[in-house]
Structure 1
Amino acid sequence: MHRRTLLGASLASIAAPLAPLRAQSAAGWPSQPLRIVVPFAAGGPTDIPARLLAEELGKELPQRPVVENRTGAGVVVGTDAVAKSAKDGNTVLYTTVAHSALRAMFARLPFDPMADLQPVVLVGVIPMVLMVNKDLPAKSLQELIALYRANPGKYDYGSAGNGSALHLSAELFLREAGGLKVNHVPYRGSAAAMPDLLAGTTSMMLDVANNTLPYVQRGDVRGLAVSSPKRIPQLPEVPTFAEGGLPNYEAYTWHMIMVPTGTPEPIQAAINATFNRVLGKPDVQQRLGELALQVRTDSTPASATQWLQSETAKWEPIIRAAGIKPD
């Protein structure tokens, strides 16, 4: 019994340091610390979920992933860095709906957004919320549409910059509402745009739900519509666009993991399985849900690719019709 106890303890001591290696996939991924490139500034609405996932992935992988913020020319600099990285799955791109706008917005790019990068995981979607200045004489979406229709070119709306998700979703709204004429005022981020909405300098802004929650909940602005098919639990009193009379309007920002095209399929499968496993954890879903991120846990590289293709086909005509160019 004594020898068996010693043998068991010895085997346990050998197995303990090897335990993290079991998290490495059969494909040998990752072969070094995972590098998650976020083409947005640190601390923003894209960076925060990426870091949360990196923290959780660190419990699954041999070494904790590293989040690297690579900004510049919108998302071009960070995206280009991943497109040109080794095809080993050790460097991934954590991007958003901005990726689907690249081809239409830029006359020249150092990479092909569709051909040089492969979607692997659709992390989830965040609905947009249409907000107006609380003193604006429009208490509903239909009243806002009527106000804009009666006063073409009189009012302004703010966005986080040309080609941002906020800009695109607003242009889609104006088109779906019958071609309303409202002047676009681009800012350097939604945080910079919010003071003018609060002051009434601009009349309207669409923003991702996680950014709008405190302002709508406090009554600083009036929430008129949410862009998802159903109302969101954080703002149960705000109706959907469909309830407001625009049944075809649906817009999100979304979060996606991409790798360089040519990354072996077994590595893509390992990345997909690992992210989906982490996204399936109830505590992760709760924490991301607090950011209004509606998590997907069943995406595949094929379904993520189909999503990107659909979103690109949706937004490119909007960008071209509106003549949207990068700042």
Structure 2
Amino acid sequence: MRRRALLGLAAASLASPAFAQGNAAWPTQPFRIVVPFAAGGPTDIPARLLAEELGKVLPQRPVVDNRTGAGVVVGTDLVAKAAKDGHTVLYTTVAHSALRALFARLPFDPLADLEPVALVGVIPMVLMANKDLPVKNLQELIALYRANPGKYDYGSAGNGSALHLAAELFLREAGGLKVTHVPYRGSAAAMPDLLNGTTAMMLDVANNTLPYVQRGDVKGLAVSSQQRIPQLPEVPTFAEAGLPGYEAYTWHMVMVPRGTPEPIIRAINAAINGVLAKPDVQKRLEELALQVRADSTPESAGQWLQAETAKWEPIIRAAGIKPD
């Protein structure tokens, strides 16, 4: 733990005003972290925590700017068209990798007009079933759906949401199960119908599901990560439950307009990794079920984005998913 703390301090020191290559010192003025989601939500909270910590080690304090609209399009477009100086950055999620397939027309290109800086972390999802559904595990759920095509419904946070895509991937990987999708305006709106049995199943990010599974309000059947999560040690992974290869996350990433000078990108990356390496920051984020990546590079973040885009675009097109 002491070694991790020292590494964190060392990385944070790179983000000081002295960190510059050529004339590319950053930041030279207060900067914006644009979050294309509503204030107080599961994306906004980690973004604000990151902004708070960056403000402690940088000469200029960041301001979180929530810009919602058309999913994440409005906020993302703002950053794509911003000055290429590192003073307007995007804090986004897996939703970014779905944009090209979801929208026939966009005012920007998600891959060509924005550039990854750092992968902040990933949040696994939990497959939940109504507590009265006559299944005890994932294989029994699959068997129930296979024997009753089209009879059951599942909820999501909306058409094209990460929860919708993860559920469609599950249905495909389980052999093309026929379960009817019911979109809601957010997972909080979907939860009452899962609890009362109107819908049979829902995948949601782990931080939203924990209290319901821990209290026994719903059945937790599988987590979508490679390992079990500490908060739900009794819930198996999809692989352990008999569906190897299934993984789905929502993830958090910082991006800048394409063409931002590389030294500025490196400076932002160093600042982010520095604060993410701090044990107290990791603890706070892990309490939100976010598995921190304190060592990502712009290159590795770019590879992650490319892989996620290649993963989700075929799912969207095959299922004919359209945005709300």
Q: Distance in 2 between matches of 1:102 and 1:179?
A: 24
Question: Deviation per CA, 1:280-302, whole angstroms, max 9, x where unpaired?
Answer: 00000000000000000111111
Matched, 1:101 2:95: no
Q: What letter corresponds to residue 234 of structure 2 in structure 1?
A: E
| SS of equivalent to 1:56 | helix
The aligned residue for residue 37 of structure 2 is 40
Q: Could you tell me which of 55, 59, 64 is aligned with 1:62?
A: 59
4+ residue segments displaced more than 2 Å = 21-25
Alpha-carbon distance in structure 2 between the residues aligned to 1:217 and 1:33: 42
Deviations 1:182-228 (A, max 9, x none): 00000000000000000100000000000000111111111000000
Please point out which of 186, 199, 202 is paired with 2:199.
202
Contact 2:156 2:186 (8 Å CA) reproduced: yes
Q: Tell me the distance in 2 between the aligned counterparts of 1:230 and 1:22.
A: 36
Question: What are the residue-to-residue correspondences of 1:1-327 with 2, within 5 Å?
Answer: 22-23=16-17, 25-26=19-20, 27-327=24-324
Tell me, yes or no, if the aligned pair for 2:84 and 2:256 is still in contact at 8 Å. yes
Task: Tell me the alpha carbon deviations over residues 139-178 of structure 1, each in whole angstroms, 9 at most, x when there is no partner.
Answer: 1000000000000000000000011000000000000000
> If the length of structure 1 is used for normalisation, what is the TM-score?
0.93
Hey, what's the Cα distance between the residues in 2 that align with 1:44 and 1:87?
Answer: 28
- For residues 194 and 240 of structure 2, the distance between their equivalents in structure 1, rounded to whole angstroms, comes to 24
Where in structure 1 are there 5+ consecutive unaligned residues?
A: 1-18
Q: 1:73-114, CA deviations, whole angstroms, 9 ceiling, x for partnerless residues?
A: 000000000000000001100000000000000000000000
Q: Would you say the 8 A contact 1:141–1:224 is kept in 2?
A: yes
Kindly indicate whether the alpha-carbon contact (under 8 Å) linking 2:17 and 2:25 is maintained by their aligned counterparts in 1.
no
Residues 30-72 of structure 1, C-alpha deviation per residue, up to 9 Å, x if partnerless? 1211200000000100000000111111101113210010000
TM, length-normalised to structure 2: 0.94
Aligned-pair Cα RMSD in Å: 1.1
Cα displacement (A) at 1:24: 5.4
Q: How far, CA to CA, are the matches of 2:270 and 2:123 in structure 1?
A: 22
Q: Which amino acid aligns with 1:231?
A: R
Q: Distance in 2 between matches of 1:260 and 1:24?
A: 23
Q: Deviations 1:96-136 (Å, cap 9, x if unpaired)?
A: 00000000000000000000000010000000100010000
Q: Any stretches of 5+ residues in structure 2 without a counterpart? A: 1-12
Q: Does the aligned pair in 1 maintain the 2:30–2:87 contact within 8 Å? A: yes
Aligned equivalents of 1:167 and 1:67: distance in 2?
27
Paired letter, 1:276: N
Identity %: 86
Residues 181, 64 of structure 1: alpha-carbon distance in 2 compared, 3 angstrom cutoff: same
Give the secondary-structure state (helix, strand or coil) at the position aligned to 2:50: helix
SS of 1:59 mapped into structure 2: helix
SS of the residue corresponding to residue 57 of structure 2 reads coil
Q: Which amino acid aligns with 1:147?
A: L
Q: Which residue is 1:3 aligned to?
A: none
Give the C-alpha shift of residue 25 in structure 1.
2.8
Aligned pairs, how many? 308
Looking at structure 1, the residues matched to 256 and 78 of structure 2 have their Cα atoms a distance apart, in angstroms, of 11
In the alignment, the residues of structure 1 paired with residue 60 and residue 269 of structure 2 have an alpha-carbon distance, to the nearest angstrom, of 18
